Amino acid sequence: MKKYKAVVIGVSAGGMKVLTKLLSMLPENFSLPVMIVQHLHPSQSDFYIRHFNEKCALTVKEADEKEKIQSGYVYFAPPNYHLLIEEDRSFSLSCDEKVNFSRPSVDVLFESAVDVYHSDLIGIILTGANNDGAYGLQLIKNNGGLTLVQNPSEAESAVMPQAAIAAGGADDILSAEEIGNLLIRLDKKQQTPVYS
């Protein structure tokens, strides 16, 4: 059976609403770490972290430099920093140039995640108003990971999901609720011991 080790999510315009729906679905025993790039204003307060912690059974926080990635956590890229995953499965933060007019950039996270997790990765693109993440999602798909895109007809801003689909990176196009249910099913299946 295919075993996944991590989930990466890219989201932009309209993100608060869809992430609230998706993250609040994940149960306390959800074992995959979730890493999220949401395009935020550079001086964004931590209100959104407090908001998601109130709605989510998992611990939600901004990722810290050199922090080890753990299950049971949802990590956000801090405003104005690219979020990268290192070989030892810790985070690094970068002030490098914007990618796709964005810092943090979804593509930067997805590309570094593929280097570490290879095919053991689930990549998700949600609502957003630019094409950030289309390239990164395709990389995940090409490396054998699972790629999911929010149905553009449901997305508050359809540009980001449409760009990901047009680039050929989507294994499946689903509603936010269907994405949440699929994540729960896959994780539960992984946690169930197999007896021979």
Active site residues: 12, 39, 132
Q: Which long-range contacts (CB under 8 A, 24 or more apart) does 44-53 make?
A: 44/79, 48/16, 48/76, 49/76, 51/16, 51/20, 52/19, 52/20, 52/23
Among 85, 52, 48, smallest CA distance to 70 is for 85
Alpha carbon 13 to its chain's center: 15
Cα–Cα distance for residue pair 139/118, rounded to 1 Å: 10
